């Protein structure tokens, strides 16, 4: 007996719109708390982006490399970093090879800011997920497992399993 496999054609445009609706909902609900945190810190958008970019790659960077990666002018990035340095969120050190270049690294205080923003976003997503039925949660788990199994670049962005666990 020959087993045939039929795959239903997926309406990618409808899927795109549905995914957009879900992402928009999650971003709106998670950004409210994140924006409040940012406002309390009185940081510029460029400063927040710089902190998040440095947290994402985990290593040290030059001011120029950070500016280039974010599409920001070098003077604007230098001003943003000066403010972060003055508040103790970023450490600057001379590059051992080129003393004119400054290497940047997040301090524990800077890392605490990005962790706080991530925790705020995770809490909003957890609130959404607790509103799902068991059937919806199981279906979403299976879909995400399949996607993350094949998309290492997404799976690598997952927070630690024990952080903010439900």
Please give the Cα distance from 148 to 134 (Å, whole number).
21
Interval 97-124: pLDDT, tens: 887 888 899 999 999 999 988 888 889 8
**pLDDT score at 57:** 76
Q: What residue segments make up the domains of the chain, in order of their start?
A: 15-131, 133-166
**Cα dihedral angle (20, 23, 25, 30), rounded to 10 degrees?**
-160
The pTM (predicted TM-score) of the whole model is 0.72
pLDDT grade, residue 6 (50/70/90)? Answer: low
**Strand positions, DSSP E, 7-57:** none
Pick the CATH number of 15-131 from 3.40.50.300, 3.30.465.10, 1.10.10.10, 3.30.1330.40: 1.10.10.10
Identify which of 118, 121, 88 has the alpha carbon closest to the alpha carbon of residue 106. Answer: 88
């Amino acid at each position: 007996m020959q087993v045939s496999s039929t795959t239903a054609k997926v309406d990618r445009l409808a899927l795109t719109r549905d995914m957009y609706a879900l992402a928009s909902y999650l971003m709106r609900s998670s950004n409210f708390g994140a924006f409040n945190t940012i406002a309390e810190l009185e940081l510029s958008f460029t400063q927040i982006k710089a902190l998040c970019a440095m947290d994402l790659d985990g290593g040290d960077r030059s001011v120029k490399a950070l500016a280039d990666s974010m599409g920001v002018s070098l003077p604007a990035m230098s001003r943003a970093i000066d403010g972060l340095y003055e508040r103790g969120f970023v450490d600057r050190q001379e590059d051992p090879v080129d003393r004119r270049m400054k290497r940047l690294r997040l301090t524990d205080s800077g890392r605490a800011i990005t962790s706080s923003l991530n925790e705020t976003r995770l809490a909003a997503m957890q609130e959404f997920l607790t509103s799902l039925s068991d059937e919806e949660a199981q279906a979403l788990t299976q879909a995400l497992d399949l996607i993350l199994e094949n998309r290492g670049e997404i799976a690598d962005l997952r927070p630690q399993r024990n952080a903010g666990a439900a």
